[in-house]
A and B are shown apart, each in its own frame.
Chain A
Amino acid sequence: MTLAVAARIARRELRGGLRGFYVFLACLALGVAAIAAVGSVRQSIEGGLKREGAVLLGGDAEMSLTYRYAEPDERAWMEDVATRVSEIVDFRSMVVVERDGVTERGLTQVKGVDGAYPLYGTVELDPPMPLDTALAGDGAVMERVLADRLGLRPGDRFRLGTADYTLSAVLLREPDGAGDGFGLGPRLILRTAALEGSGLLAPGTLYETKYRLALPVGSDMAALETRADARFADKGMRWRDARNGAPGMTRFVDRMGSFLVLVGLAGLAVGGVGVSAAVRAYLDGKTEVIAILKTLGAEGRTILLAYLMQIGTLAGLGIVLGLALGALAPMVAAPFIQAQLPVPVQVSLHPGPLAEAALYGVLTALLFTLWPLARTEEVRAAALFRDASGQVRAWPRPVYMGVTVALAAALIWIAAWFSGVPQLALWAAFGIVAALGLLALAAVGLRRLARRLARARAVRGRTALRLALGAVGGPGGETVSVVLSLGLGLSILAAIGQIDANLRSAIQQELPERAPSYFVVDIQPDQLDGFLARLTGDPGVSKVETAPMLRGVITRINDRPAKEVAGDHWVIRGDRGVTYAATPPEGTIVNAGAWWPADYDGPPVMSFADEEAGEIGLKLGDAVTVNILGRDITATVTSFREVDFSTAGIGFVVTMNPAALMGAPHTHIATVYAEPEAEAAILRDLAEAYPNITAIRVRDAVDRVAEVLSSLAAAIAYGASATLVTGVIVLIGAAAAGERTRVFESAVLKTVGAVRGQVLAYFALRSAMLGAAAGTVAIVAGGVAGWAVMEFVMMGGYEFEPVSALAIVLGGAAATLLAGLAFAWRPLAARPARVLRARE
């Protein structure tokens, strides 16, 4: 009965069409679309990663070693479990091209392969040819960026170390490229056998070997991993398998995906504010209708139901529009997405993300429309006899507050569950709630202040100012709702702006003041003196630091497996650089314990980086076992020292006494601080004298990191722009929502003698006050949120970016003001009777 009546009322109201609901629809649709699109793309990429796991890894499983090849017994174990084994050696080097007396050099990441490579997938070359043909004899292939930089074309010759090679083709795609992780230089592939005589891979040189295993179908990866760990973990062997073929890539997509979903949710929250404002404005306009219906005997419940049905129908429409948009957008963008990724991506309809987005949409719509809807119950028939505004209580009945809390909890819980980053989602939700709380406080404070100021003698005579203060401090929910919606929108935009600006500045970051020009690796011990002699005489060189360099894996701490003691800390995850020194290197600060005597000759002792030691719970006197080249060296920790990893200088977690390590084959690394003008000559001389060494220009390395970061920043910018569009719509909507009131006020004010300039000044001042309150909170909230995301999610530093914050807040406030004035312009020009007659 109630339902039927309500449905009839709803149907009659829907006859009004979509007028007044465009903002509502746009906000909901955009929010849902953004989430659906991000989810679909993420699903597509993850699908590709999973499907292609073995191809990306280069085998069903991979066992890797640092510094050495597998021993015959290790190799035998692999042959035993696998149907096929492929051996790869991976290291950095420099490609040298001599042409017309000019020498060009380029850093490269070399991959030496055997005949079995690749176990899965194919290497794509230009001109097209089988890899076997391309690598025959001294043939090699390299990525186009490197070939172009060096001016090489297929058929040209180049040098690597002391041997010459022929470029037979350009490398378009290596199937295991994404699995290899991050390389500082472009890829070059050749036969490992062809490296003989190049002088590279001498003992002590930094290189990594990878053994890819093709396993029988149905092999139990987990069991194999356990077996391999038990047998080889102490030997510095690391295991990976196709269950997660490209962990770096997976992590990246994961982090990016969840971050973008949160950006999407933030966008939906902004949209929700718009939805709420639109519904409130609509229902405010209906106060009279509602009061009349009540006079005629309609119950509050009937009316609530009627409007719930109407708004529900419209929300459904908005969500469907959003889903359609969200499903279509990735398909349209598919070629572009594919071009950005080394993984085959099949963008198609994924029901999962669409359902997730729809669920978010429904919950958001309910959450943000419930209060305005609940207020319809509060409208009393008496509203007809008095001015309707200010009649309705600010707080809905407790039952609706309960439902609101339940809805919010459900939304947060689902976001935490689906995003796969529950902590991040919870923090984001907490941030939004905190921002709303702060905004509510600001709004109430502003109202009180305005009310007090409006009575002050000082503002008497300044009509526009007094009117503005009176309006801000007066009854009616406008102050609170505008500050809340504008403020939340601006806060989220400001936060995204902060993150975006910080990422960008991280990318463009100037090198640290005292950064070295070159980072040189693989200097053989017998080359060190000559190397130093060349540099110390050079007036362009301000400083050279060198250190012996070995690589090792921390396997045990106090004779317990390191993983048990330190968990998943980065220090024990892979292999680390290890060095030795008789006396503390210049500038060393020992925080605890004491450095060993210069002539120390006892059992191995170790100085550990202080901060990292604290993180893994190391104490002075602990015994740490490091596996270097398959040999275990156990040393006692005798001191903790300060190590700064941020300045791009030399920093080692572990330093030991010379006697402990000197016997192992090793090389030296060096950092060279030089004037930019001297750099080219230094590189030329060093590379000519010592063809085996690799010099990495720090500037280039930073640029390479920047490339990776800029794709991240670009993705965030896309997410942010969706939020920005929603934000602008919300702001315009907010301005439009106030139009009715403003039209009326301007008519009355004109009647009592106000000219248009005064009315405009009043409107502008009021907007400015509301905008200032919302904007101030937004800058604070955006700053805090930006800091939290940069610090805890991106693991980067944060610096407040005032330009971005001010631009967003001022831009947002200006947009609201302009939109408000634009909406006020028409009624200002109209004769008052036209406006007032409609309100008779």
Chain B
Amino acid sequence: MADSILSLADVTLTLAGNAGPVEILHGITLDVHRGETLGLVGPSGSGKSSLLMLMGGLERATSGRVTALGHDLTAMNEDQLARFRRQHMGVVFQSFHLIPTMTALENVATPLELAGHRDAFDRAAEELRAVGLGPRMDHYPSQMSGGEQQRVALARAAAPRPHVLLADEPTGNLDGANGAAIMDLLFGLRDRHGATLVLVTHAPDLAARCDRVVRLADGRIASDELRRAAE
């Protein structure tokens, strides 16, 4: 299929474990298409998070090529990668990684500011209201619940309107109502701005809303099925 926004070609990832090097991903080849919603599923430890990190240029592939929007991520240095993410990519980590010395608002405003938006704070506030955190804007991460932190992390990733949003278990800590709100936000991003979503998830209802589900097992792609998008 044409119009691939993210493309991995025979990518392997080897990490140095305690008992010598461990190959975590073995020869992954995968194309993600523009506007697609891709669900990454698989058992714990199968390498989902690692693959997501590679897609975001947050991890260096041991071999193979990672291309995003036509740019070869494997050839870029750290600063080039940072600028690339600033313009094109949002990342939500499995354990959020908010900066503890910043309020929710400041956490969300930071990428907007880095991207040069003059109205960073206003947009950040709007984004936080959208995830239902209007009253929590001036709270520090340590003063928020896990679910609230997760929503801040999502707002931080989504605020700059990235072309690609990579999210590691975005609804993992949320109850039904909040989880649904987050899903609406994610898919709204796709629908309104044409963003491409890559979501790691265990949640069946989230996976069910994806266009395509890739199943990982032991660092390999075990299955790759296209689904009819919901509705």
Which A residues fall within an 8 A CB radius of B? Answer: 385-391, 454, 460-461, 463, 466-467, 470-471, 474-476, 478, 744-745, 747-758, 828-829, 831-834, 836-837, 839-840
Contact = CB atoms under 8 A, between A and B. Distances in A.
A475 B143 CA distance: 10
A829 B60 CA distance: 12
A755 B99 contact: no
Contacts of A751: 56, 58, 85, 91, 93, 97
B97 A748 contact: yes
Which among A476, A745, A837 has the greatest number of chain B C-beta atoms within 10 A? A837
A830 to B, nearest CB: 8
Contacts of A758: 114
A418 B145 CA distance: 55
A387 B111 contact: no
Nearest to A751: B91
B97 to A, nearest CB: 5
Contacts of B101: 470-471, 474-476, 478
A752 B156 contact: yes
B59 A834 contact: yes
Contacts of B50: 833
A757 B80 CA distance: 12
Contact of A831 (B58, B102, B146, B149): B58
A752 B142 CA distance: 20
A831 B59 contact: yes
B180 to A, nearest CB: 23
Nearest to A473: B101
Interface stretch (B115-123, B192-200, B214-222): B115-123
Given A478-B101, A757-B79, 16 more contacts: A386-B149, A390-B141, A454-B106, A461-B120, A466-B106, A470-B106, A471-B102, A474-B101, A747-B97, A748-B98, A751-B56, A752-B114, A753-B160, A754-B82, A829-B78, A831-B78
A829 B113 CA distance: 22
A478 B141 CA distance: 16
Given A475-B101, A836-B93, A387 B142 contact: yes
B83 interface: yes
Contact of B110 (A387, A749, A831, A840): A749
Contacts of B56: 751
A839 B97 contact: yes
A828 B78 CA distance: 8
Which among B81, B100, B143 has the greatest number of chain A C-beta atoms within 10 A? B100
A453 to B, nearest CB: 13
Contacts of A756: 78-79, 82
B94 interface: yes
A754 B149 CA distance: 21
B44 interface: no
A113 to B, nearest CB: 78
Nearest 10 CB-CB pairings of A with B: A753-B86, A474-B101, A833-B59, A390-B142, A752-B111, A833-B53, A833-B58, A755-B79, A832-B58, A753-B114
Contact of B113 (A385, A388, A391, A460): A460
Given A390-B100, A454-B106, A475 B140 contact: yes
A700 to B, nearest CB: 63
Contacts of B98: 387, 748
Interface string B198-212: 000000000000000
A284 B60 CA distance: 30
B63 interface: no
Contact of B114 (A388, A463, A833, A839): A463
Interface string B33-58: 00000000000000001100100101
Interface size class on chain B is: 35 or more
Contacts of B14: none
Given A387-B98, A474-B102, A466 B91 contact: no
A252 to B, nearest CB: 53
A460 B120 contact: yes
B60 to A, nearest CB: 5
Given A461-B113, A758-B114, A831-B59, A389 B95 contact: no
A839 B85 contact: no
A69 B62 CA distance: 100
Contacts of A752: 85-86, 91, 110-111, 114, 156-157
Contacts of A749: 99, 110
A745 B59 contact: no
A831 to B, nearest CB: 5
A755 B145 CA distance: 30
Given A387-B141, A390-B142, A475-B100, A750 B121 contact: no
A755 B79 CA distance: 5
30 contacts: A386-B145, A386-B149, A387-B149, A389-B100, A454-B106, A460-B118, A460-B121, A463-B114, A466-B106, A470-B101, A470-B106, A471-B101, A474-B100, A478-B101, A747-B97, A748-B99, A751-B58, A752-B91, A752-B114, A753-B82, A753-B86, A753-B87, A754-B114, A755-B79, A756-B79, A829-B78, A836-B58, A836-B93, A837-B49, A840-B93
Contacts of B100: 387, 389-390, 474-476
B106 to A, nearest CB: 5
Contacts of A755: 78-79, 82-83
A839 B95 contact: yes
Given A461-B118, A832-B58, A386 B79 contact: no
A464 to B, nearest CB: 10
Nearest to A836: B97
Contacts of A744: 97
Nearest to B138: A455
A797 B83 CA distance: 60
B142 A391 contact: yes
Contacts of A471: 101-102
Contacts of B156: 752
A752 B91 CA distance: 8
A753 B149 contact: no
B88 to A, nearest CB: 9
Contacts of A753: 82-83, 85-87, 111, 114-115, 160
A839 B143 CA distance: 19
A840 B97 CA distance: 9
A750 B120 CA distance: 18
A733 to B, nearest CB: 21
Contacts of A839: 95, 97
A386 B91 contact: no
B75 to A, nearest CB: 14
